[in-house]
C-alpha cells in the first residue's frame, strides 16, 4: 500500500485534477467554435465574438479571485501545501485575461491598432482592463523559482502584492462593462471584499501577536 504525503498528494493527484478543471472552460469554448465553423448548433449565442470575449474575461476574473482564495483556504484548513496550487491558478488567470485581450484585438478590431488605442483612451472600462492586464504581465514573467531567487524573496513578495490592485481593477472593469443593477458584479465585489478583508484581519492579528 502506497502512502502519499500531503505534498505528493497535491502534486500528483490534486494538481492534475485542478489543471484539467482550469482548462475545461477553454476546451468547452474551442469545441463550440468548432461546431460553429461546421454550421452546427452551438452555445455561442447569436453574437459569438462578443460571447467569446466576455466568456474569456469572466473566467480570467474568476481565476484571479481564485488565486487570492488559495492562501486563506490553506490557512483556514491547515493544509499549507495548497499553496503549491497558487502559481498554476495565477498563470491560468493571466492566460485567460490575455486571451480575452487577444479576442478583443483580433475578433473585434482585426488588428486595427489605431482604433484599439482610441478605445483604450476614450472608454474607461477598457482603460481599467488594460491596466489590469499590464499589471499581470510582471507577475506571470516572475512566477518561476529562478525569478524568485533572482529578485530575492522579499522583493518578489512585494512585486506580487500587485495582485491586490489588479483584482480591484478586474472587478471594476467587469462591473463597468455590465451596465445596470446586475447580480453578478455584486457577487464578485462581495467575494473580493471578503478576500481582501481577510488579509487585513490577518495583518492586524499578526501585529497584535507580535
Residue 4 has what pLDDT? 56
Considering just the CA atoms, what is the radius of gyration of the chain in Å? 19
Mention every residue, 6+ apart, whose C-beta is less than 8 A from residue 26. 59, 96, 99
Q: Give me 110's grid cell.
A: 482585426
Mention every residue, 6+ apart, whose C-beta is less than 8 A from residue 51. 44, 45
Residue 171 has what pLDDT? 97
Place of cell 498554476: 88
Identify the band that residue 1 occupies on the pLDDT scale cut at 50, 70 and 90: very low
Q: Give me 161's grid cell.
A: 502584492
Residues 97-140: tens digit of each pLDDT: 999 999 999 999 999 999 999 999 999 999 999 999 999 999 99
Q: Judge contact between 49 and 107, C-beta under 8 A.
A: yes
Q: Give me 137's grid cell.
A: 504581465
Residues 17-55: tens digit of each pLDDT: 999 999 999 999 999 999 999 999 999 999 999 999 999
Q: Does 80 or 124 have the greater pLDDT score?
A: 124
- Helical (H) or strand (E) element with 63: helix 48-76
Q: Give me 180's grid cell.
A: 445596470
Say if pTM beats, i.e. exceeds, 0.75: yes
Q: Cα–Cα distances in Å, from 115 out to 17, 99, 182? A: 41, 19, 29
| 178, 179, 184, 187 alpha-carbon torsion, rounded to 10° | 110
Amino acid at each position: 500500500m502506497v502512502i502519499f504525503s500531503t505534498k505528493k498528494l497535491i502534486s500528483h493527484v490534486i494538481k492534475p485534477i485542478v489543471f484539467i478543471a482550469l482548462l475545461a472552460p477553454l476546451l468547452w469554448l474551442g469545441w463550440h467554435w468548432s461546431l460553429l465553423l461546421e454550421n452546427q448548433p452551438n452555445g455561442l449565442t447569436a453574437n459569438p465574438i462578443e460571447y467569446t470575449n466576455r466568456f474569456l474575461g469572466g473566467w480570467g476574473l474568476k481565476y484571479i479571485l481564485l488565486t487570492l482564495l488559495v492562501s486563506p483556504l490553506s490557512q483556514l484548513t491547515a493544509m499549507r501545501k495548497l499553496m503549491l496550487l497558487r502559481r498554476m491558478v495565477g498563470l491560468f488567470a493571466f492566460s485567460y485575461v490575455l486571451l480575452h485581450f487577444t479576442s478583443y484585438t483580433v475578433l473585434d478590431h482585426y488588428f486595427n491598432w489605431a482604433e484599439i488605442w482610441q478605445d483604450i483612451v476614450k472608454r474607461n472600462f477598457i482603460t481599467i482592463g488594460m491596466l489590469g492586464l499590464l499589471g499581470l504581465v510582471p507577475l506571470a514573467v516572475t512566477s518561476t523559482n529562478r525569478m524568485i531567487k533572482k529578485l530575492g524573496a522579499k522583493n518578489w513578495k512585494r512585486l506580487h502584492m500587485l495582485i491586490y490592485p489588479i483584482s480591484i481593477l478586474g472587478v471594476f472593469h467587469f462591473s463597468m462593462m455590465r451596465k445596470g443593477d446586475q447580480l453578478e458584479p455584486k457577487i464578485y465585489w462581495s467575494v473580493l471584499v471578503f478576500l481582501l478583508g481577510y488579509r487585513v484581519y490577518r495583518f492586524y492579528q499578526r501585529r497584535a501577536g507580535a
